[in-house]
Amino acid sequence: MKTKLSILIFSILSILIVSCTEKIDIQLDDSYSRLVVDGSITTDTMSHSVVLTSTSSYFYNQPAPPVTGALVSISDGTQNFNLSETSPGIYRTSPDVFGIPGKVYSLNIKLANAIGGYSDYTASSTLNPVTPMDSVTLKFHPEWSKKGIWEVKCYVQEPPTVDFYRFLLSKNQTMFTDTLDEWIITDDMFYNGNYTNGLPIGYLDQGSTEQGLRPGDTITAEVNSIGKEYFNFLMEAQTELFGSNPLFSGPPANIKGNISNGGVGFFTAYSATRSYAIAPEFGK
């Protein structure tokens, strides 16, 4: 009797579960597109670039559509640099352009065809100075992984102003911190106005084909002084990329950039300084 009752209850529950299942078709609105901007000007003398694309449908599995035929310029209030479209959606200054610390740089974009109801977009960023590094060093930690980890340390007198930094690393002139998930960004809360005396600014895995060092390899450390607004933008972008903690925190949100008229992305101006270290003999 108990067995029959159990079977009956299981059957009823199964019917209820099945009857409560309903197929829901979610209609995603893909009719509204926005301009996406990724641009910068730095203290380096080089061709500075501005990349223009547009947002696309959620189900669009191709690279972001480039925005072509735009008129793009960067101005510091005195000089105006016109950018040329060197490939679809990629606009570059002439190679003799460089930014000057203390100046405010404005980006102006005029589209051939409106996106999101607008043809004109602007953004601005102040180019903050950066203190040249005294030196960088390499310290090997064999116990940190199977084949060891190199710690890259920076020595510099940090100014008493509130500053924000990005650190990039290259090996033999090939940069391997070339994507957002590999950038180290920080403020100067813990060393403001002090001599850093060996601040860790990056790590190299000796077991990695890309990062592993051989005696005589040259490691270049680049420090960028970035503005607070760009620092916050990068922090939010990395949070979205890596996921938030704890697991059940708030849902993802749009990252706040500095492009007008609802544009997405960021135009930034920043200073750059570099220092070098040579990999020593090790492992003997």
Q: Which domains does the chain have, with CATH numbers?
A: 35-126 (2.60.40), 135-253+271-278 (2.60.40)
Q: What is the pLDDT of residues 105-114, one digit of tens each?
A: 999 999 999 9
Annotate 47-58 with DSSP letters as a single string: --EEEEEE---T
CB atoms within 10 A of CB 37: 24
Say which residues have a Cβ less than 8 Å from residue 154's Cβ, sequence separation at least 6. Answer: 133, 136, 167, 196, 198, 199, 200, 201, 221, 223, 275
Residue 186 has pLDDT above 60, yes or no: yes
Closest Cα to residue 52, out of 105, 119, 98? 119
Euclidean distance between CA atoms 146 and 244, whole angstroms:
29
Q: Which amino acid is at 126?
A: T
Distance of CA 149 to the CA centre of its chain: 24
Closest Cα to residue 123, out of 258, 269, 275? 258
**Three-state SS at 160:** coil
Q: How confident is the model at residue 244 (pLDDT cuts 50, 70, 90)?
A: low
Give the global pTM. Answer: 0.84
Residue 253 has pLDDT above 70, yes or no: no
Euclidean distance between CA atoms 4 and 103, whole angstroms:
84
Euclidean distance between CA atoms 56 and 237, whole angstroms:
19
Phi–psi pair at 263, nearest 5 degrees: -65, 155
Q: What is the pLDDT of residues 202-222, one digit of tens each?
A: 999 999 989 999 999 999 999
Euclidean distance between CA atoms 77 and 144, whole angstroms:
50
Q: How confident is the model at residue 9 (pLDDT cuts 50, 70, 90)?
A: very low
Residue 32: per-residue pLDDT: 74
Sign of the C-alpha dihedral computed for residues 191, 194, 198 and 203 taken in this order: positive
